[in-house]
């Protein structure tokens, strides 16, 4: 990640509204490009000029193209994709539509996102923990054994953890689950635009605002075709009257009244992502994560939470000297103009033993940015 490599990605930065801040908080929300912002605002203005539903009809080709692109990224058919309001809304729509046996068991990794654990438990589902290696990634041999010996009702994986650089082997798990006839659902909120999310899972949900740097208020649900018949979906006669015959059950889960400007903005963000090249972005984000961990390794008072070589641009820093992580996050922003997250342990209660400082740059991060973070943290200790 020398100057030359940094330079390649400065166009990405130049396409965003200028900021005097060092933004290391993509895992919360990425910085939208000026083009994405323009397209979103232009759709909202068009709604005011010609009427909201006329504007939506005009945008149908853009929405269809974006839908197909997003479906491709999630590894489902275009008709297997539903726009929702957030990843959480998508998860809840899936839980409502895909019946799981009462008291059934959901198998999760210890790194599972806390609100997902809560969503399962509060619906009366039991949780069981998948065996993982020392890095926290699911042990595939032991998964295969579990699927054979004591198949759960569902395997649920958060593909890229929220609090540290940890990527689950979702594609391999999907193959095992499919062979065993056990459904696999994937929370790809931190994975879309970051890792390869076309994994063969039965259902996958994600959000616009993080690694794709699309607008807030837009989420996605993808269900692969074999799963469609599992869905129990109902739509009111009025809703059905506005949809073509043969509309897929997944499309019936799409919210009808919605932040359409945001959806149009997401379609623009996806176009930009595809133009940048998903494989190239993935490689760069992996590099950004490794550089973050290398730069911060050995920093007095902080411990980089592994694995160091994870192909993810999220890094967790554990305070080793009793620092108040919330206070450090606030001072980094106020005194140094560096944006990070103070991660509460409820994000991943089975993996986190205390708060972590989360650092999550996008592709435009430079060695200089990360050096400033290191210096700022060092100066505070």
Nearer to its own copies, 120 or 185 (CB): 120
> Regarding beta strands 105-108 and 154-158, do their DSSP bridges make them parallel or antiparallel, or are they unpaired?
parallel
Omega cis (within 30) before 96: no
Nearer to its own copies, 176 or 260 (CB): 260
Rounded least distance, CB 86 to its own copies, Å: 4
> Regarding beta strands 154-158 and 184-187, do their DSSP bridges make them parallel or antiparallel, or are they unpaired?
parallel
Tally DSSP H helices, then E strands, for the chain.
Answer: 15, 13
Half-sphere CA count of 230, side-chain side, radius 13 A: 20
Rounded least distance, CB 13 to its own copies, Å: 11
Rounded least distance, CB 279 to its own copies, Å: 25
Rounded least distance, CB 355 to its own copies, Å: 10
Count of beta carbons in the 10 Å neighbourhood of residue 88: 18
Rounded least distance, CB 39 to its own copies, Å: 11
Rounded least distance, CB 67 to its own copies, Å: 17
- The span from the CA of 53 to the CA of 292, in Å, is 46
Nearer to its own copies, 262 or 307 (CB): 262
Sheet holding 203-207, edge to edge: 81-84, 219-223, 203-207, 184-187, 154-158, 105-108, 126-129
Nearer to its own copies, 91 or 290 (CB): 91
Rounded least distance, CB 304 to its own copies, Å: 23
Rounded least distance, CB 48 to its own copies, Å: 4
Contact status, residue 106 vs residue 98, Cβ threshold 8 Å:
no
Nearer to its own copies, 147 or 356 (CB): 356
> Regarding beta strands 219-223 and 203-207, do their DSSP bridges make them parallel or antiparallel, or are they unpaired?
antiparallel
Nearer to its own copies, 54 or 379 (CB): 54
Nearer to its own copies, 32 or 105 (CB): 32
Nearer to its own copies, 88 or 199 (CB): 88
> In this structure, what DSSP letter does residue 319 have?
E
Nearer to its own copies, 64 or 346 (CB): 346
- Residues contributing to the site for its own copies (CB under 8 A): 16-19, 21, 23, 25, 28-29, 31-33, 37, 40-41, 44-45, 47-54, 85-89, 114-115, 118-119, 122, 207, 209, 215-218, 234, 236-242, 255-262, 333, 339, 344, 346-347, 349
**3-state secondary structure (DSSP) of residue 223:** strand
Alpha helices in the chain (DSSP H): 3-14, 34-50, 52-58, 60-74, 87-97, 114-122, 140-149, 170-180, 225-228, 237-241, 249-252, 260-276, 278-296, 325-336, 367-380
Rounded least distance, CB 254 to its own copies, Å: 12
- The span from the CA of 295 to the CA of 225, in Å, is 44
Angle between helices 60-74 and 260-276 (to 10 degrees): 60
Count of beta carbons in the 10 Å neighbourhood of residue 103: 9
């Amino acid at each position: 990640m020398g100057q030359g490599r940094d330079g390649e990605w400065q166009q990405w930065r130049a396409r965003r509204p200028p900021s005097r801040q060092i933004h290391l908080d993509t895992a919360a929300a990425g910085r939208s490009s000026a083009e994405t912002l323009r397209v979103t605002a232009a759709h909202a203005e068009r709604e005011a000029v010609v009427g909201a539903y006329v504007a939506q009809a005009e945008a149908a080709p853009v929405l269809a193209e974006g839908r197909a692109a997003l479906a491709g990224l999630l590894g489902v058919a275009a008709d297997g994709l539903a726009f929702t309001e957030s990843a959480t809304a998508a998860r809840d729509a899936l839980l409502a539509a895909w019946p799981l046996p009462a008291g059934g068991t959901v198998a999760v990794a210890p790194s599972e996102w806390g609100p997902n654990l809560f969503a399962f438990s509060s619906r009366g589902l039991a949780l069981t923990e998948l065996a993982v290696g020392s890095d926290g990634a699911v042990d595939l041999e032991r998964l295969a054994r579990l699927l054979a010996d004591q198949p759960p009702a569902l395997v649920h994986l958060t593909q890229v953890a929220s609090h540290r650089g940890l990527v689950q082997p979702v594609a391999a798990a999907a193959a095992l689950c499919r062979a065993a006839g056990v459904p696999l659902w994937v929370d790809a909120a931190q994975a879309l635009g970051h890792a390869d999310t076309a994994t063969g899972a039965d259902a996958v949900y994600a959000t616009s605002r993080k690694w794709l740097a699309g607008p807030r208020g837009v989420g996605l649900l993808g269900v692969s075709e074999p799963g469609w018949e599992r869905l129990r979906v109902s739509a009111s006669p009025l809703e059905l009257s506005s949809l073509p015959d043969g509309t897929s059950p997944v499309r019936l889960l799409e919210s009808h009244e919605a932040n359409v400007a945001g959806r149009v903005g997401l379609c623009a963000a996806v176009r930009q992502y595809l133009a940048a090249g998903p494989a190239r972005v993935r490689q760069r984000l992996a590099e950004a994560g490794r550089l973050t961990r290398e730069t911060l390794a050995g920093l007095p008072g902080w411990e980089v939470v592994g694995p160091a070589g994870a192909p993810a641009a999220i890094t967790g820093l554990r305070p080793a000297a009793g620092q108040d992580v919330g206070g450090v996050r606030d001072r980094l922003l106020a005194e140094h103009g560096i944006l990070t997250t103070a991660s509460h342990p409820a994000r991943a209660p089975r993996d986190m033993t205390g708060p972590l400082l989360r650092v999550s740059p996008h592709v435009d991060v430079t060695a200089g940015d990360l050096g400033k973070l290191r210096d700022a943290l060092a100066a505070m200790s």
